Each structure stands twice: as C-alpha cells, then as structure tokens.
Amino acid sequence: MSNNSQQELPLNYFHRVSSHRGQAPNAEIFNGEVEYALVVKESPACAFLSLRGDPNDAGFCAAVIDILELNLSTRGNYHCSSQSRIYWLGPDEWLLVSEIDASVLEARLREAMSGHISIVDVSGGQTMVNLRGAPMAIDSVLKKSCIYDFAGWSNAGSGKGRCAQTTFAKASALVSNRTDGSFDLIIRRSFADYIALWMLDAGREFGLRIEG
Amino acid sequence: MSQNRLASHTGAVIDFTFNGKSYQGIAGDTLASALLANGVDVVGRSFKYSRPRGIFGHGAEEPNAIIQLGSGASTVPNLKATQVELYQGLEASSVNGWPSVNFDVMAIVGAFGRLMPPGFYYKTFMYPKKLWMTYEHFIRKAAGLGTAPVEADPDTYDKLNQHCDVLVVGAGPAGLVAAREAARTGARVIIADEQSEFGGSLLASQQTMDGVMAPRWVASLVAELVAYKNVQLLPRSTVFGYYDHNFLTILERRTDHLGLSSAQGTRQRLHRVRAVQVVLATGAFERPLVFAHNDIPGVMLASSVSTYINRYGVAPGKKLLLFTTNDSAYQTALDWQQTGRQIIAVVDTRSNPSGDIVAAVKLRGIEVIGGHGLIEAQGNKRVKRALIAPINASGTQVTGPVRRLNCDLIACSGGWSPAVHLSSHTGAKPVWDESIVGFRPGESKQQERSAGACRGTFDLTGCLAEGASAGAVAASLCGHGDGSVQFPACAVEDYIEQPQQALFLVPHTSATSRAPSQFVDFQLDVSAGGIELAVREGFESVEHVKRYTALGFGTDQGKLGNINGMAILANALDQTIAETGTTIFRPSYTPTTFGAIAGRDVKALFDPERYTAMHRWHVEHGAEFENVGQWKRPWYFPQQGETMNDAVNRECLAVRNSVGMLDASTLGKIDIQGPDAAEFITRIYTNSYLKLAPGKCRYGVMLKEDGMIFDDGVCACLGDNHYLMFTTTGGAAGVLAWLEIWQQTEWPELQVYFTSVTDHWATATVTGPNARRVIAKVCQDIDLSNEAFSFMDWRDGTVAGVKARVFRISFTGELSYEVNVPAHYGRHIWQALIEAGEEFSMTPYGTETMHVLRAEKGFIIVGQDTDGSMTPADMNMDWVVGNKKTFSFIGKRSLQRSDTLRENRKQFVGLKTVDGQAVLPEGAQVVFDAKQKIPMSMQGHVTSSYYSAYLGHSIALAVVKGGLGRMGQVVHCPLADGRIIAAEIVSSVFYDPKGERHHVE
C-alpha cells in the first residue's frame, strides 16, 4: 500500500550536504577525495513505537520478549537484535525501533498485552541518524551539543548499549552508542533541519557531511 | 633599536605597531615585553587625571597598559598588553589618552586634579540634570575605556560542555604537581592556565628543581601530563567563574595569538565544566607599595621586573632602585645584577633586614638601606629620581632627612596577595591572616581546595607539597587513589625568609591629604588621600567606599590595589583589616568576550526553526512565513504582484466559494491511552467525554485552576480507552506538561498515559464547498456522504495511496476534511491533494486567511481573543461547560467566585464598524463616550480585526464590559493617530450563524 517513493525522510534535503559546501566541488566531497572526519547518515524509514507499561507485569515483559525477541531494557540502556531495538526512556516508558511494519508490530503487541498499557506509533515524527568518524571529532561535536557526559558510558556490547534522552543544542535527542564507537541520535522531525544545520556547523572544524 | 633587550635573548623578529609607530619584538614576547624592550615608557593615560602611565605588571593584574587591538570589525578593546601575545603585524593603540598619550588635553584637567575628587560622579549626579549632560559628554570622550567595534563581529566562538573528576586551576608549581598526582590515579583531569605556557612563576624562576633549572623541570612535567590520556591541558585558558554545584567556566583563547584577521576557526571557546572536585592553584599577586607619585612610568612590581628579565630577556631600564618590605623582592636585585646594568640600592622598610637572600645580595656588593622608605618618585614621563627617608618601625612616620637617589626604574614589593578570587566566587569569605599579611581563602563552599600561593603558602617547597597533596586528595574524593602523595618530593633550595613588614601606605613628609598623590588603584586614579577623604565624608563600609571612590572598579578589578586600599581604609577608621573586611569578588575574573558567551547560538542557530513535512513545498511556492512559537507556518501565498491584502482576500474567497487547503500539521496532538482516559480528559476539559463514542470528536476548552481559559481544541475518541487530543500550536508543550502534572501529582490513581504525536502526523485541511469532491478523487475507501461521515466524525482510510486518518472538523465554518498521515508522507499527500484540487481551483492558504475565516465564524483563538483573564462565560461559551458532571473539572470552583460571577465583566462580542471599509487596529481601546475627556473610561478592547472580502466589510472581535447586554449599541475606538472609529456591537458570529455550511452536499 504505502511505498517508499511516497516517503520523504526528515533530512531528505540535507543528503549530500557537507560542511564545506562551496569550498570543494561536490563530486570530490562524495568521492572521498576530500577527507571527512565526520559522517552523519540518516537511516531508512522504520517503525518507531512508544511503549508504556508496568515492567513488574510478567505478562507485559513476556510479550515484549515474545514479539521483539528482546528483553525490556533497564535504566539508561537499550537492547538490540538484527531487526529491532528497545530503548529505555523512563521507569515505565520505552521506545521501540524496528524494521517490522509499525502497524503490524503494534497489532502484535496489542494482541499479546493486556491491562494498562500504551502503544503509540510515532514513526512519522522521528528519524535516526548515525554519527561516525574520528573519536575526537565525535567527542567534540557531542560536547558542543549536549550537557550530558557520554564519556561516563561503558562501551556498547553485543546486543546492548547505553542511551540517554538529553538536550541537543536547543532541541532534544535520544543518544545511544554503538559497538563501532559511533553514536545514534533519534531526533524529532520538526527539529531535524535545525539539528542538521547545527551539526554541519559543529563539525565544520573537522569536516562533516550528511548522507541518506 | 631594542635598547632594553638583553643580548643573550634572541629569536625570530616580529614587526608590530603601537600608537601608529613601528617596532620589533621577538617570538615569545607579549606586547608589554616588546614595548619595554623598545623603551616605550608611556602606554596610556590614567582615567581621571590623565597622568602618563607605564607598564606596571606582567599579567592579569596590569592596571595601566590597557590597549585596543586592531581596527574595524575585529577590533578588541581593553586588553592588557601584558596578556597579548605578540604576532606579526600586530596593531595596537592605547585606549586612553585622546588625542595622544604623549600630549593629552585631559592633562590640563589633571593639573587641576582636585576638581575631580572621590565621588565625583555621584556628586555631579546631584547637580542640576542639565549640567550632567555636559559632564558626561566630556568625560566619555576624554576618559573612555576603548571603543567597541561598530560592525558585526566576524569571529567564531563556541562552547564545549566538559566533565571531569578534578579541575586544576593554574599551572604553576602547585597546580602542575596537583594535576600529576590526580592524573596517575586515573581520574579525569583538566588543568587550565591563562598563560600561553604552563609553569606560572617558574617560567621566570632562577631556582633549580631536581637539579635542573625551573623552566626545564616544568617542560618535563608538562610532557608527563601530555602523555596521560585522562588529562586535558588548556593553556591560554582563564577560569573566570566559579558557580554553584562545582560548575566553572573557562575562556580559552584559541587564535588570538595568531592575529586578528588571519585566524581561521574558533577564536575563543567557552568551556562549561562540571567538575567533581576542584584544586585552586591560582597563585598570588605581588602588592605594590603606595608612595607619592608611585604611578610614574618606570615604577614596576619587583616580580614583574624579574619576569621581564628572566622570561623575555628585557631589562626595563638602566638604573634600578629596589624598594621592599620583604625578602622575596631581593631576588630581583640578583636577577638585575646578572643583566650587567646598574643597581642603585635596595631600600628596605625593615630596620635590620637579615634573611639568607639579603645576605646573598649584600655579598654581591649591592647596597641595602634598611629602615628607610621610598617616600616619593619624581619624574614626568619616566622616573628620574626617588626620595628616600628613614621611617619609624611601625612605618607611620618619616623620622629623618630626605635623600635623593637618581634612578630610572623603581621595582617595588609590598608582599604578596593570594589570588582568592575563585574561592570568593563560591561565597567563601576571604579571611585576613596577619602572618602572611594577606587574605587567605575562606571556608570552602564547594568541593574545592586551594593549594600554594593562593592559600598563602609562598615558598616553593610548600607550594609543591600542598599541590601534590591537594591533587591526591581531590582524586581520592572522586574514587581514584587513596589520597596519599605518590611522587617523591622535588628537591629545591628555598631561601629561609625573614618576616615581612606589613606596610600599606608609605609615609611622606607631608600628611596624606597634602602629599603628592599616593596611588592605590592606578586604573581609576584612587589615591590614599581619596580613601581618607571618603572616610571624612562619612563612608565606613568597605563596599560603600569601593563604590564611592571607584576602588577596584577597573578592568583589573582591583587585583593590585584592593588590599592596600582596604588597609588604608581600616587605618582611617581606626580598626583592623579583619574588621574592615574585603569586598566580594564576583565573576568574571578577567573580562570575557560576549561572543564567547553567545557561542554558536547566533543568527540561523539562535533559536530552532521547526518545519512541517510540507515546508519545502511552501517555500517553493513563494509562501511568506509567520512565526508561531518555534514553528514557521505559511502566512499567505502571494502570487505575482499581489500585496498581502490581495493574497488574503483571494485565499478567503477561494475557500468560501470553492475550496482551499491549509497546512495544519503544527497543531499540538497528544495520544491518550488507559482505562481512565475518558475520566481524566473529562476532568481536564470543561465538558464531558464519558459518552464520546469511537469515531466521534468533540470540541473542548480547558481552564487553569483560576477558571480562566488556557487552551482549546478538539478531542477524538479513537477506540476503547484511547483518545487523541488536539491543542493549539503554541500550547502543545504546555498542555502535555499540564496533563502530566495532574496525573502524576494529583490523580496518580487514574491509569492513563500521554504521548506527544505532534511530529508524527502531517495534516492537510481541505475546506470549502468543494472539499468533498476533492477528497473523493483521492480517497475511495471512506464513504464521504453526510450520513455516513458527518460533521465531528473521523474515519480511517486511504488517501492517495497512504493510510490516513480523516477528521471532519472545521475551523472555517465550511465543509472540511483534515487529512492526517504519518509525516514522512506529508509532502506526498499535500501534492496529491493539490493535483486533485486543480479542477476546483483549490487554493493553498496560510494562517492569515485562517484567522479571517475563523473570525467570520466567531471562533476564538486562545491567546489572541483570550488573555488569561477570560472565563468560558466571558467568551459567551457557557455551552461548553458541563456543570452536571459528577466529578469536578479543573477551574470549576473558580467559576463561582464573586469576581467571575460579577456583572460588567468584559464579554466577547463582534464589532461592525459603521464605516465598513475602516479596519480597527487590534488592541484598540473601546469607549462608550467618544467625547469624554482624557483619561477616558476604557470599556474594552479589540482582540481580532480583519477586512472580510467575502462579507465586503471589516469585522472585529472584542471584549467589552457587559458587551453581551449591549447588542446594537455603538461604541467608539479612539486611535493613537487621533481618529475615532465608531462600531456597532453585534454577535461574534458574522457568517453562517446557523452552521449550515458544514452540511453542504
């Protein structure tokens, strides 16, 4: 029914934009002839579901394991499989990110759960970007953008990592780490342009480009 | 050429200009050291008396060498030449001394210095206002401190948020070893120092440490620190503020030393540091001695003379006379002698100086004159001679004949004042300590400790021991190490010092009030006599005297003058210094650029702009935008040659006559789920939602506890225990917070969850008599007939191939479909609808047309027609209040207050201008009697006003006292331009009062 050609990702108009636009021919920038220390890559559209419920409810936890094949993550952590991720946002709040179709996933979860829960499709309001590059440059961009102390995090391991919702410049982001040392940011659609401009500026001293 | 440069000191030559003249310096110079090398005596004029002034210090304490760097947009005012690193092509000028430092009209005023006594500014304020205008102009022109650039700042500044276990402030001996001890425990360490190189006093030290010269010892320790991955070194970085919760701010100057215009990248960076523990190792400032005409160029601090010799290879004179109250300054005699230049004598106020270093000086044949004071310097633009005389043991009186000694340089030392500024920022009150003749840091108010000279420990061995211990303890308090010092103590030879004499004002043969000015604060020309005069005029509190005399008000913030000033004040008040106390130091420690405080939050990044998924389409189609909160909403879509009025009239008519489309994505949307969702919503809104069936919508208003409307919108029942609440665009975040507060704090027993879905949905509102025909072209799976899908219903379906939720709600009064799709499909659906609407000339419209259309229908806009003082009854909306609900709703009780029930409250009505073409300005006041004299009785005001193209006349909404009972009456709106517009009070519903337009087939 819905198809990809009808979709437009929040950062659509920033794909192939770099912090050095105008200073190097565009082709060079994307052929890798100009070294870029930082790359911001927007993930393809996927399902984002807000999940609320009682983590002490065995049925609730079992439903999550059953359908996502993931345990509910605990404070400050996320769990991930090849298909899905579950981010802890609060004592009774998680964000599910999955390649499963949002309405299918919501229906499955609703069928498996009962009692006081909330599942809300927020796919259209979010986008996920990955920030990779030289560790020092990533560190600097995060320090320019967030007050949160990411250096205090343990490294991401197989199937899990750390996450935090925090201010990002004058907007907000859900930041998480990956095993490869890069960071994922989940940001709100309406702030995406602002955050893209901010990142291009913050990464300028190292060189930064945005990819789709 | 460089007459004062020592032959032993060489390096790359750097050209620069000062006050328009070309000079040469050497790599590593500061502007001050280069000027001294070139024999430049006069670098500025004093603020009040315009006396010629020369370089006095070598760091942040410098009061005289205040310069303006560069010109044009990147000019920087009020820098201290002692802190400006020399670079090729540097251009600097004195900030004070119009028209030139060497000939200054103010000097004539200076000759009549007593015309400007302490409290001059306060006193001139007291005179007739007219005169102040004259003074002010004159004072500002002649005595101003630099000029701010007129152009926009071309430089880039940014901010970093930093976290560390231990922040070490100052990289002198104590700070360096503190950082090393903390670093080895694995703690995260930041060490910051304001100078270009780490080492502090050691950079100019002649001492050996562990068998090597001090600067070499520093270099190897710095190399050690660099090797630690857990240590961040910040040279050229001033910690300028210490705030609550161990939050400190550091200004890092990244490119200033490279030149103003050539530099790329971030000029200055503000580090916002959250430290678990702090070690303050900020050192001490040498205190000048207060004697007559101690401000003549050629009078300097003893430690500064040593620094210029040892660090910069500059001997700032030919014939030195040293004047001291303590042992430490004798080092300067030894340093000076090494330059091969003449030293006249050391004048010591102590009757029998006898310390180790005194002996060493005497051994080298230098004359030491004990029991004497240097009571007056003489000379005009450079010291020519000094008057010395024997003084009594307490230092209060001249006791013998005056001798003249010729010299061109006077190095003075009145002891050392710990730099307690940062500790003072935390609220710790400095404590006077007689044994060090200075203020020590007060009891810690934060997780900090001082080490070394800033704590009153002035010998190197002591500084190193304290620093090491402070670093180890600070780290252990963060969970790193056991708090014990791990590195072996450094072997240094310290001279055993004899006690210093506490002397804050050197006596003169004349009384202080008669003696030539004995300056305490050089920058603002505060003299000892001035402080005594302030006391005679009745000022007693140190804070009052500070403000009255301007002591410590300059850009050096009294780093040199404060202690002497307070001591002189204490003496005049006949009390101790401890009783007198000190003024409070506040951030910033040194002046801080506004650019750094703003960082990157400027221009396009000043505030986020929020865009809808259709934003680019609007831009491509020439929309003008309106700010609604942070959102950019299309305001109107002008076509070629159209004015705003033309465009809005066209858009309005299109909607009324055929069909238009609005981007309504910005409306706040909150998903509400849970067994108690309906009950919760019913408590929040004034009406009931208990019986709202799935597929249905209802309009509601919500009140604050005071009964006043604060938001409104439609709420839809999506399913069992599942609702979607729409809020105003600007109110979205506030409403969500409001729901959470009531659920979490007042009604935790209600099971309900709220989730913002504002960003998830993109909304295209298709409205007008042809709306159904447009939707029908792109939506086949919803029965759009009035019977199957009636007003205030919603349906799920497929629109242009996308799963959509369609609401039949209307803010225009016309048949309306609000098509909601996940926002990634927003632009697709918008374009599909535009295409579908082509045959009906469907017109995109913006917020201005939306406002006109809703005003024609009398629909309120919360925040425009209401202002936080309007109840539903005031807005003629009693119909929305469900007084029969079993549970109360927020604000209900306040609706029964006598004030909300009283007659004559402002009520919401329509205004129809008598002259239909006259459009009332919004905000215009309404009066009943246009002939009443001013002040008129204001009876209300216009809240919304537009020209209605459809109705052919202007329409306005207003709140008028008792307005609902005044239908048909004519009121008047007197305008600021003198016109008075008459209008008839009418119903607020101008268009389709029976609401039939919703139901067109």
Sign (positive/negative) of CA torsion B654, B659, B665, B671?
positive
Judge residue B980's burial from the number of C-beta atoms within 10 Å of its C-beta, 0-12 exposed, 13-18 middle, 19 or more buried: exposed
Place of tokens 């106390």: B581
- From the list B354, B375, B347, B288, the residue with the least C-alpha distance to B55 is B288
Which residues of chain B have a CB within 8 Å of the CB of A117? 673, 753
Identify from B161, B617, B625 which residue to disrupt to test chain A contact, counting A C-beta atoms within 10 A and taking the largest count: B161
Per DSSP, B859 falls in state -
Round to whole Å and give the CA distance between A103 and B822: 12
Same domain? B145 vs B179:
no
The B residues from 210 to 269 touching A (CB cutoff 8 Å) are: 265-266
Distance from CA of A85 to the nearest CA of B (A): 19
User: Structural domain tally of chain B?
Assistant: 6
Same domain? B24 vs B121:
yes
Cα B931 to Cα A38, B186, B411, B936, B966: the distances in Å are: 71, 82, 81, 9, 19
Residue of A nearest to B831 (CA): A6
Q: Where are the domains of chain A?
A: 9-44+125-211, 47-123
Same domain? B653 vs B685:
no
Cβ contact (<8 Å) for A194 and B610? yes
A184: confidence class by pLDDT, cuts 50, 70, 90: very high
CA atoms within 13 A on the CB side of B92: 31
Distance from CA of A20 to the nearest CA of B (A): 13
CB B691 within 8 A of CB B735: no
Cα B932 to Cα B314, B407, B627, B927, B928: the distances in Å are: 82, 84, 39, 9, 9
* CATH for B826: 3.30.1360.120
Distance from CA of B269 to the nearest CA of A (A): 10
Whether a cis peptide bond, with omega within 30° of 0, leads into A91 is no
Same domain? B259 vs B168:
yes
Same domain? B515 vs B455:
no
- From the list B54, B446, B545, B59, the residue with the least C-alpha distance to B286 is B59
Q: Which of B152, B173, B196 is the last residue in one of the domains?
A: B152
Residue of B nearest to A151 (CA): B163
B233 is a domain residue: yes
Identify from B753, B758, B761 which residue to disrupt to test chain A contact, counting A C-beta atoms within 10 A and taking the largest count: B753
B41 is a domain residue: yes
CB A79 within 8 A of CB A85: yes
CA atoms within 13 A on the CB side of B573: 23
Residue of B nearest to A95 (CA): B755
CB A125 within 8 A of CB A49: no
Q: Which of B790, B823, B854 is the last residue in one of the domains?
A: B854
| Residue stretches of chain B with pLDDT short of 50 | 1, 98-99, 106, 109-114, 141-143
CA atoms within 13 A on the CB side of A169: 28
Amino acid at A102: A
Domain that holds residue B787: 615-665+760-854
B732 is a domain residue: yes
Cα B276 to Cα A153, B134, B186, B189, B810: the distances in Å are: 17, 53, 14, 10, 56
The secondary structure element, H or E, covering residue B771 is: helix B771-778
Looking at residue A1, its pLDDT comes to: 38
Sign (positive/negative) of CA torsion A72, A78, A84, A90?
positive
In words, the CATH class of domain A47-123 is alpha beta
Strand partners, A40: A131, A210
Q: What is the rounded (10 degree) CA torsion for B770, B772, B775, B777? A: -80
Superfamily (CATH) of domain A9-44+125-211: Probable tRNA modification gtpase trme; domain 1 (3.30.1360.120)
For chain B, the farthest-separated pair of C-alpha atoms sits apart, in whole angstroms, at: 117
For chain A, what is the radius of gyration of the CA atoms? 18
Distance from CA of A144 to the nearest CA of B (A): 5
Cα B894 to Cα A54, A109, B273, B701: the distances in Å are: 37, 44, 47, 15
The B residues from 629 to 688 touching A (CB cutoff 8 Å) are: 631, 671, 673-675
Looking at residue B881, its pLDDT comes to: 95
SS3 at position B589? coil
* CATH for B21: 3.10.20.440
Round to whole Å and give the CA distance between B386 and A105: 91
Determine what percent of chain A falls in helix, strand and coil, rounding each to the nearest 5. Answer: 30, 35, 35
Let me know the angle formed at the C-alpha of B984 by B978 and B989, rounded to the nearest 5 degrees.
125
Looking at residue B140, its pLDDT comes to: 53
- From the list B310, B352, B304, the residue with the least C-alpha distance to B329 is B304
B131 is a domain residue: yes
Nearest-CB residue to A8 (from B266, B751, B828):
B828
Q: Which of B575, B607, B626 is the last residue in one of the domains?
A: B575
Looking at residue B142, its pLDDT comes to: 47
For chain A, the farthest-separated pair of C-alpha atoms sits apart, in whole angstroms, at: 58
Model ipTM?
A: 0.96
Round to whole Å and give the CA distance between B229 and B959: 67
B348 is a domain residue: no
Q: What are phi and psi of B214, to 5 degrees?
A: -50, -50
* CA B192 from centre of chain: 21
End-to-end CA distance of chain A: 23
Provide the pairing of β-strand B722-727 with B668-673: antiparallel
Q: What SS3 string covers B886-939?
A: CCCCCCCHHHHCHHHHCCCCEEEEEEEECCCCCCCCCCCEEECCCCCCCCCCCC
Same domain? B85 vs B45:
yes
- From the list B41, B34, B39, the residue with the least C-alpha distance to B17 is B34
**Residue B47 has which token pair?**
């603020």
CB B349 within 8 A of CB B437: no
Same domain? B775 vs B695:
no
Same domain? B131 vs B14:
yes
Residue of B nearest to A200 (CA): B605
- From the list B614, B624, B600, the residue with the least C-alpha distance to A197 is B600
Nearest-CB residue to A170 (from B274, B607, B826):
B607
Which residues of chain A have a CB within 8 Å of the CB of B759? 122, 124-126, 188-190
Let me know the angle formed at the C-alpha of B777 by B772 and B781, rounded to the nearest 5 degrees.
85
Angle, helix B562-572 to helix B528-536, in steps of 10 degrees: 40
B356 is a domain residue: no
Same domain? B7 vs B84:
yes
Which residues of chain A have a CB within 8 Å of the CB of B674? 116, 118
Cβ contact (<8 Å) for B163 and A152? yes
Looking at residue A32, its pLDDT comes to: 60
CB B483 within 8 A of CB B473: yes
B799 is a domain residue: yes
* CATH for B231: 3.50.50.60
Residue B138, number of CB atoms within 10 A of its CB:
12
B28 is a domain residue: yes
Cβ contact (<8 Å) for A170 and B612? no
pTM of this structure? 0.92
Distance from CA of B822 to the nearest CA of A (A): 5
Same domain? B48 vs B101:
yes
Nearest-CB residue to B760 (from A2, A125, A152):
A125
- Give B419's contacts (C-beta < 8 A, 6+ positions apart): B282, B283, B284, B285, B453, B454, B559
CB B279 within 8 A of CB B169: yes
Cα B36 to Cα B32, B596, B642: the distances in Å are: 6, 31, 68
Distance from CA of A191 to the nearest CA of B (A): 5
* CATH for B948: 2.40.30.110
